[in-house]
Chain A
């Protein structure tokens, strides 16, 4: 079946450090891939997405590239800020076998220290 595996947290970084959060997936169809972010006390919101192999999603300085050969969608940011402290979820929506569901990873909590 479909699944998403992401690195366990928490990840603790100093401000301006480089961030990588690893995400790998298994899917039977042609999935779209997403990163969501959850700030304290809020629901999830879309951070970026990629819909086909080699696509790069980007937003707010974050980037992730859809790598079909390694079934990965790692999240990166060159210089993190304290305001980036949140929980990050990798997710996929498969087609055509996935139906209406989105499969989420377990989430990775990021702490950024000033």
Chain B
């Protein structure tokens, strides 16, 4: 089974800090994604990557950046954390082969910015 591991389940940071969220997948998937999940808004795509060192903006990239130095690892960076970035963050990966392939999710990181 595919395993997507997010480094922290819960994280508390302060306004203005630089925050790193890490995600690792073990199935050699090309595509990786970062979402945030907020009540009533569902999942919103922040960034995605379809290959090492490649990245594309999603629907809400402002205030975030990403890094993909190795195929298995995709990091989300909050450059200067703000309280409106308090949210649940979900990482996912998928195989590029075939449009019928589902996404595989980590358990999420619940981030609180104080």
Residue of B nearest to A41 (CB): B107
Which stretch, B14-22, B79-87, B94-102, touches the partner chain A?
A: B94-102
> Does B100 contact A100, Cβ atoms closer than 8 Å?
no
Chain A, interface SS category: loop
CA A98 to CA B50, docked complex, whole Å: 13
Total contacts A-B at CB 8 Å = 59
B25 to A: closest C-beta gap in Å: 12
Pairwise interchain contact B105-A104, C-beta atoms closer than 8 A: no
Encode contact with B along A19-36: 1 for CB under 8 Å, 0 otherwise: 000000000001110101
Report whether A51 and B42 are in contact in the complex, using a CB–CB cutoff of 8 Å: no
Q: A71 CA to B55 CA in the complex, in Å?
A: 32
Closest residue on chain B to residue A47 by CB atoms: B102
Q: Which residues of A contact B (CB under 8 A)?
A: 30-32, 34, 36, 41-46, 49, 51, 89, 93-96, 98, 100-102, 104-107
Within 87-114 of B, Cβ neighbours of A (below 8 Å) are at: 90, 92, 94, 96, 99-108
Shortest distance from the beta carbon of A32 to any chain B beta carbon, whole Å: 4
Task: Decide: A100 near B50, CB < 8 A? Known: A32-B99, A106-B40.
Answer: yes
Whether the pair B50, A46 counts as a contact (CB closer than 8 A) is: no
The answer to whether B50 touches A106, judged by C-beta atoms less than 8 angstroms apart, is no
Q: Contacting A100 at CB < 8 Å: which of B31, B90, B107, B108?
A: B31
* Given the contacts A32-B100, A43-B90, A49-B102, A104 and B107 also touching, CB distance less than 8 Å: no
